[in-house]
Amino acid sequence: MDDGFEIGFVMAGAISAGAYSAGVMDFITEALDAYEEACMTGFVTNGSRQEAWDGPTHRVRVPVIAGASAGGMTAAITSLCWFTDLTHVGPGEPPGPEANRLYASWVREIDIAPLLDPGGLDDGVLSVLNCAILDRIVENTLRAERRRRSRSWLGRGATRDVALIMTASNLRGVPYAFKLFGEDKDEFYGMLNHGDAMRFMVGSRPMDAPPDRVAGFFSLNTDELPLRGALDPSSRWFLLKQAALATGAFPIGLQARLLKRQFSDYQVNSPVEYQDEKGQRHTILPHVETPPAEYDFIAVDGGVIDNEPFEIARRYLAAGAGQNNRNAAQASKAMILVDPFPNHASLPQGPGREDLRLTSVVPHFLGTLVDQARFKPEELALAQNDRVFSRFAIVPSRPTRNDPTPKHPIACGILGGFGGFLHESFRRHDYLLGRRNAQAFLRWNFMLGESNPLFADFVRQRGDQARKWYVKQAPDGVRSIAPGEDAGAADALVFRSVEGQEQERAFPIIPLTPRMQTPIEIPAPDLPDPDAVDLAALGQRLRARLSAVTGALLRHDLPDIIDLGLIGLASSYPAQHYIAMLGKELALKTIRQGLGDLRAAFPRG
């Protein structure tokens, strides 16, 4: 069976900017549904009337979605939403919490208030922030009452299953060894790999035909949803919850998670491979003399080691082919990176003497680790190369009156990506911006050359009428215009191959129906409102949480270091509140600066 064009999504780490990524996937899901309906019925809705569909009718399939950190959490929620109805988001009243779990999870339910709740410390400090709200968000998604929906654009071949892959930083590690050449003895050079990934196969199946475990994947039957009662810790749904929370467990701030799997998974899907001089790829298996049947490990944020899991998604999408064809005239598969923080970097400011202090070195060191995890120049260059049509990227972009390239194109970008937790208006704006940018991407950028075999039937059947569907050059400064308004624009041209100079016109890979071309505007009420952040209340919550965390550390986690006798109690109590007060003031200083940056980036009036 011809699968037409296959798409794999890669969701980069985002922290609170997961709201942007969720908005992107909201629109793309809606666009694929509209295109599927047009192809199946032959009609589309244009305003108040029905029209015959005269656009392309090639197949589009989505067999895999991968993600890291907040992107991994978004990938997990998206994969479940793909098997139910989804009420989409626009200006005005938001959908109910069960109607759109992407919006509910990333805009309505997550917030700074529950993250700063002083509870959850009876057994010691698991994280600086209270992560109970994150557990509830995942469980709410698993319990949501929604009508099931079958989408023919999901899966590969005869199946409708979607591979869900989430990266994790494995604190235990998996051993690998390499033979030392030139030595007389059979010695090996050993090392531990901490870059891990949890793999799930998500799909809908009859209850009387439970899925066999796909090699290296945990199969999830969405017909079992919504779940009732407490989650069984031995169930795959509990493992999905833990994996989704683990990939987003930003170190120190958010709680690490315990994951369990079969050790044989590493022999089926080993992440370690190399390419020889002939271009052939070879997989290296873990070096363990007697592999255990089961393997458990503590996991934290997958973005610390692999923030844009291109290679994981590419290997699945390629299905053993080695490399996906990159030419506009031959490409049949592509990965789309959704990255709220594309790292348009400039030279950082030089250090001062105060930067030698430990209080400055520690946060800069953590930031350095995260930045280095995101530094993948070869992979990201392919996504931005206008000659490569097997990798694409969706990144935040918005026009402003003050600066065509604003410092904060997304509201959640302040405070190193944590700013979105401060107020719902920040997250709602970014969700809507994600929808707007996804529309622009599908309309102006996601295309292939007209000679690509994908469009052969369409061109043969429509003849000269097919030219109506040539992709146009994006109007300068305008990324969202009504259907037909681009009729006078020049046709976009693409290079037929990566190396050649021959150009040709292009057709869209996911054609937008007239309704999906309706301009997406973000009105003033949906702009971020930094003045709505109650700094006084926020300061109280910060102090309460920091005081509770410090106290729990003194009581539970440092008993051998701090004498908790009368002298210890007398000294620890004021220390606890001094640390809380100092931490609150430092945090508020940073927050005020971030809110100031946001006001400048989103001027009102």
* Beta pairing partners, 282: 274
Q: Which residues are catalytic?
A: 69, 301
Query: Looking at residue 374, what is its pLDDT?
Result: 66
The pLDDT of residue 559 is above 70: no
Segment (H or E) for 246: helix 236-247
How far is CA 560 from each of CA 445, 478, 575, rounded to the nearest angstrom? 60, 63, 17
Per-domain boundaries in the chain: 5-344+358-529, 531-604
User: Could you tell me where the beta strands, DSSP code E, fall in 28-140?
Assistant: 43-46, 49-52, 60-67
| Helix axes of 70-81 and 18-41: crossing angle, nearest 10 degrees | 30
The first and second tokens of residue 453, run together, are 């075999």
Q: Which residue has the higher pLDDT, 366 or 58?
A: 58
| 467 contacts: CB under 8 Å, gap ≥ 6 | 505
Q: What tens digit of pLDDT does each residue of 127-185 get?
A: 999 999 999 999 999 999 999 999 999 999 989 999 999 999 999 999 998 776 655 56
Query: Looking at residue 351, what is its pLDDT?
Result: 77
Whole-angstrom distance, CA of residue 370 vs CA of residue 515: 40
Whole-angstrom distance, CA of residue 191 vs CA of residue 287: 9
**H-type alpha helices, 445-564:** 456-462, 535-552
Q: What tens digit of pLDDT does each residue of 217-241 get?
A: 999 999 999 999 899 999 999 999 9
Whole-angstrom distance, CA of residue 115 vs CA of residue 423: 13
The first and second tokens of residue 62, run together, are 């989505």
Q: What tens digit of pLDDT does each residue of 236-257 get?
A: 999 999 999 999 998 889 999 9
The pLDDT of residue 405 is above 60: no
Specify the amino acid at residue 381: A
* Beta pairing partners, 52: 43
Query: Looking at residue 209, what is its pLDDT?
Result: 47
How far is CA 101 from each of CA 48, 94, 198, 322, rounded to the nearest angstrom? 29, 11, 22, 36
- Max mean pLDDT among 170-174, 321-325, 562-566 falls in 170-174
Whole-angstrom distance, CA of residue 482 vs CA of residue 447: 19
